Chains A and B, each alone.
Chain A
């Protein structure tokens, strides 16, 4: 069984310290609170990676708000021509029609998942639909989607921690770090 110390040893570089993340989230919370002043907000978090971010962001927002959670399948590839369609593994628990909705993402890279979500949630007729992401990796962007709130623009490196995983691990690190390449290139 690997310990958290073992996991930290897999990190080649700490990209964002815990303090940096929390300070930026406080700024985002203040900005969102000002932008939505006088309105009620619904935060939608996309499991699993954005859970820590939303937990901290919601406490930095000084407005009445609801939260909801979604989970969608991610492409895993297949050896034949079709690998099916993205699936909603967990849908919203309440209607968002007429609501001010803010999607909370952990990271945006290709934009494929977010593009799907925006179209899907847009079909539920919210009053507004905006996007907040902790991390933005624009070098990987395939689908251009306007992002309303960005925590950090990061370089083109594979990062883990603060919700982001590799093989479902590293999510509980309190910082965001770059995974050593030998971790994912070494034979299993």
Chain B
């Protein structure tokens, strides 16, 4: 959902600039997600102990005659343990078509890259399974572009731009990596609702 970089942003490097990072309520660094559905997916991956990076890499997919990158693609997530990129899209069909085109181009140029496009219907089905259909509806399309709690976090917590961050980051390529513990008995925060597997 985050492929709106300009050619100037992309240069010729495959390494994307790290996305801005804020702090969550417990002081953990947490990326400023471009869309609410991305934040929800990050929580789901955390829950199931699947490590992820947020926007770790930008793939140039179109160059002009001077060899400058004019179009690129930055998948939302990379799941390092699975070797899989994940791109979320809950946008309108016209934009999905554009994204599909970019994805085809990416696969042509980088055939070894494994990437899955997670459509609105996939997200909705996942939320239905977890009893969170109303959330899926609220996060679809434009409504999900700004996540209220993220806005609050951005306002209240210092935004940590990578260049200004003196602390070493746990992620590769400068991006944020979450590697939850594979503990047998996770300890959800108090007050969080635990649903039982169906």
Contacts and interface: CB of A to CB of B under 8 A. Distances in A.
Whether chains A and B associate is yes
Interface of A: 46-49, 71-89, 91, 106, 109-110, 112-113, 115-116, 119-120, 123, 140, 142-144, 156, 158, 164-165, 167, 184-185
Contacts of B194: 73-74, 76, 84, 87, 89
Contact of B196 (A73, A82, A115): A73
B76 to A, nearest CB: 13
B43 A74 contact: no
A83 B187 CA distance: 9
A117 B189 CA distance: 22
Given A77-B135, A80-B149, A82-B28, A87 B50 contact: no
Interface residues of B, number: 51
19 contacts: A46-B197, A71-B196, A73-B188, A74-B197, A77-B43, A77-B132, A78-B189, A81-B30, A81-B149, A82-B43, A86-B47, A91-B184, A110-B126, A112-B48, A116-B48, A143-B50, A156-B125, A164-B198, A184-B133
A80 B192 CA distance: 9
A80 B50 CA distance: 19
B109 to A, nearest CB: 23
A82 B189 contact: yes
A184 B182 CA distance: 33
Contacts of B24: 80-82
A48 B197 contact: yes
A87 B48 contact: no
Given A76-B131, A78-B192, A88-B185, A143 B82 contact: yes
A120 B185 CA distance: 11
A91 B84 CA distance: 30
Given A85-B186, A87-B194, A80 B25 contact: yes
Contacts of B183: 85
